[in-house]
């Protein structure tokens, strides 16, 4: 799995922790959450053993909250505003 697009994430689905969801995905390049309406809960294993350069694209309006959210703050350097994300060619 290289690119993941999650377009239907709402406040209801965002409350379920994504335990180890991407753990071990060493080829992961992109997790696109740009259409999310809430910040999903994750645990500390969600992105274990993934590519060090992957990007997490989030809605502009949630960016400031996203980079300091519980467990997401660990990945703040991977989080990018949707308006500032440019796909690699």
Domains present along the chain, CATH in parentheses = 3-84 (3.40.50)
Q: What is the pLDDT of residues 40-69, one digit of tens each?
A: 888 888 899 998 899 999 999 999 999 999
Q: Give me the percent of the chain exceeding a pLDDT of 70.
A: 81
pTM of the model: 0.84
Contacts of residue 39, defined as CB under 8 A and 6 or more positions apart, other chains included, come to 14, 62, 65, 66, 69, 72
Q: What is the pLDDT of residue 12?
A: 44
Residue-wise pLDDT for 25-47, tens only, equals 899 999 999 999 889 888 888 89
């Amino acid at each position: 799995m290289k690119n993941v697009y999650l377009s239907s994430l709402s406040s209801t689905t965002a409350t379920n922790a994504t335990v180890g969801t991407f753990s071990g995905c060493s080829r992961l390049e992109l997790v696109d959450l740009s259409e999310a309406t809430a910040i999903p809960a994750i645990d500390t294993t969600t992105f274990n053993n993934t590519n060090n350069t992957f990007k997490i694209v989030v809605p502009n309006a949630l960016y400031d909250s996203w980079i300091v959210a519980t467990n997401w703050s660990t990945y703040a350097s991977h989080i990018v505003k949707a308006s500032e994300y440019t796909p690699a060619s």
